[in-house]
Chains A and B, each alone.
Chain A
Amino acid sequence: MTDIAYRRLGDGGVVFDSKSWQTHILTPAAAIIFEALAEINEGEPVPQAQALDFLRDELDVDIDTPEMKEVLRSLEEMGILGG
């Protein structure tokens, strides 16, 4: 997580990953998820199963839509989600 710079911009957000040198653009929904997971992970990747439970049960997110799968893939790439 120390390699990740995050900025909330309006309702969305942007992330710069200095390890991969990649920039990720977060839609408003993705920004909320990013912030929520960043809060619970305390600097470590959140295990996939724990993250999916959290999103489904706490944030009431449908994790099976193509958009959400794309968000989860990006979060995994950034190291927010673990295996």
Chain B
Amino acid sequence: MIAANPRIRDLPPGLLAQRFSEASVTLDYGAALVRVRTLLKPFVRDFQRVYGAFFLAEEASFADFHTEVCSGKGLRAIFGPQSRFLIDGIQPFDPFPREQALPHFEWGVNWCFGKRFNQHVLLHSGVLALGDRGVIMAAPPGSGKSTLTAAMMLRGFRLLSDEFGVLCPHTGQLWPMLKPVALKNRSIDVIRAYTDQAILGPVYGGTRKGDVVHLAPDEASVDARKLPARPHLVLFPRFREGAALTTRRLPSEEAFARLAFNSFNYGLLGQISFNAVADVIDACSAFELEYSRLDEAIEYLRAMLSESTVAAAAA
């Protein structure tokens, strides 16, 4: 007996594979709908684990992106099997080994968002929230942003996104673009040791970004994927082994530059993104945060978010 609208993890694998083969799997990431077709069974198995809390979107004629994950052509279907990612029937980049089909799909969807989702300002940042109070976490690769993002979700923050801060230029709200958190290299063991509550996919060794594991978004974040958040804090986190927790308040113009110039489409949208990012900086305090202990950083952020709410209410 299957519930009327079961979570993906509760679907019989055979039924999920059938839906994938019929191109009737549409994922609702919050800000975007992505339709997926595949016949690759290992992909379906890995997908069911890391998208377990999601639902299949109701059958709809519209999807923002139509994607396919398929096997390599000719002999590549048998020898050194590959996966190919297609968007609207076009293969935008080289195939991956077939066992890396899921990370291939994840990067492919990110590519679609980054290149084509220009009705929103796409900040290069993680976004989490307590209620509707959003924290924008922007940092370059290697700074520990995804690790902190993962840990915050595992300690009760709502995850909106690990990679894309989807900022609506009309309302100033942040929309979820909820995908599994891609943990890389050392951060995999950090999150494994952090809690046994983390639902992690398989380890994909030796990808172009090293070892990768996906952390499944939790049910609360999935259930709130249609709820936007208001920007309250802008944070530039940096992990440093053994560091005491320190923060530095950033001058607003510096915070603007760091947030705007790292966005995916600031240059493309021009004055639209200029105003949207300026509104965020106007509304938020911006900090650099250096840390080495996850829980200490998370509790500090929880307190900061509460303070920013109190300050906003008093203003």
Contacts and interface: CB of A to CB of B under 8 A. Distances in A.
Interface of A: 5, 7, 9-14, 16, 18, 21, 23, 25-28, 31
Most interface-central of B254, B256, B261, B282 (chain A CB within 10 A): B256
Interface string B297-310: 00000000000000
A74 to B, nearest CB: 13
Interface in B238-264: 251-257, 260-261
B281 interface: yes
10 contacts: A9-B278, A9-B281, A9-B282, A10-B252, A12-B253, A12-B254, A14-B274, A18-B271, A25-B256, A28-B251
Nearest to A14: B256
The B interface, classified by DSSP as helix, strand, loop or mixed, is helix
Nearest to B281: A9
Contacts of B255: 9
A47 to B, nearest CB: 27
Given A5-B275, A14-B274, A18-B270, A23 B260 contact: yes
Given A7-B282, A9-B282, 8 more contacts: A5-B275, A9-B252, A9-B253, A11-B251, A12-B252, A14-B274, A21-B270, A25-B257
A22 B251 CA distance: 21
Contacts of A23: 260-261, 274
A42 B73 CA distance: 66
B267 interface: yes
The A interface, classified by DSSP as helix, strand, loop or mixed, is strand
Interface in B275-292: 275, 278, 281-282
A14 B278 contact: yes
Contacts of A11: 251-252
A10 B253 CA distance: 7
A30 to B, nearest CB: 9
Nearest to B279: A7
A79 to B, nearest CB: 16
B249 to A, nearest CB: 10
Interface in B117-175: none
B252 A5 contact: no
B306 to A, nearest CB: 22
Given A10-B251, A25-B257, A16 B267 contact: no
A26 B253 contact: yes
Contact of A16 (B251, B252, B257, B271): B271
A71 to B, nearest CB: 13
Contacts of B256: 9, 14, 25
A23 B274 CA distance: 8
A13 B267 contact: no
